[in-house]
Amino acid sequence: MKKKKILAVDDDPTAVNALRQILTQKGYDVTTAGDGEAALAQLQQGDFDLAILDVGLPGMSGYDVCREIRQEPRTQDLPVIFLTAKGLLMDMAEGEDAGSDLYLIKPVLATKLINMVGMFLSTDAPLAKKRRSHPAP
């Protein structure tokens, strides 16, 4: 069975390495990026099953990266999870407006993160099919 591929994007090396370690231990193939431009370049080079984005990235924000993902036909159905310290209602609303599928506020328990990732990547998970069955306007 092919490993599910996740793109993890965070400008904090400690955070992105912890994320990589947690997800790799659960059997996922994890690629990392430290900014929005690098994330978009990675998305052009490979087929990913999920993207996890921080909001506060240098250059392009995570919101901008998500908007680019939604505009690109090749990635428009890619599930996107925001994992960020920005927890105000307006931040969450902007994440939803950008097209995210889930908004998690740091710190988050590793078990919760793994459960949420699993819900998107499980072959019979309704969350993984949500965007495909209800395309964005």
Q: Which of 74, 38, 52 is nearest to 120 (CA)?
A: 52
| C-beta separation of 3 from 46 below 8 A | no
The residues spanned by each domain of the chain are: 5-133
CA–CA distance, 16 with 13 (Å, rounded to integer)? 5
Residue 35: count of CB within 10 angstroms of its CB: 17
Is the dihedral angle over the CA atoms 30, 52, 12, 115 positive or is it negative?
Answer: negative
pLDDT at 61: 96
pLDDT for 46 equals: 84
Query: Whole-structure pTM over 0.85, yes or no?
Result: yes
Q: State in words which class domain 5-133 has.
A: alpha beta
Cα-based torsion angle of the residue sequence 4, 26, 45, 47 in order, rounded to the nearest 10 degrees = 10
Q: How far, in Å, CA of 57 to CA of 44, rounded?
A: 19
Question: Which tokens hold the place of 35?
Answer: 């900014």
98 is written with which tokens?
């950008």
pLDDT digits (tens, 9 = 90+) for 32-60: 999 999 999 999 998 999 999 999 999 99
Residue 124 is predicted with a pLDDT of 59
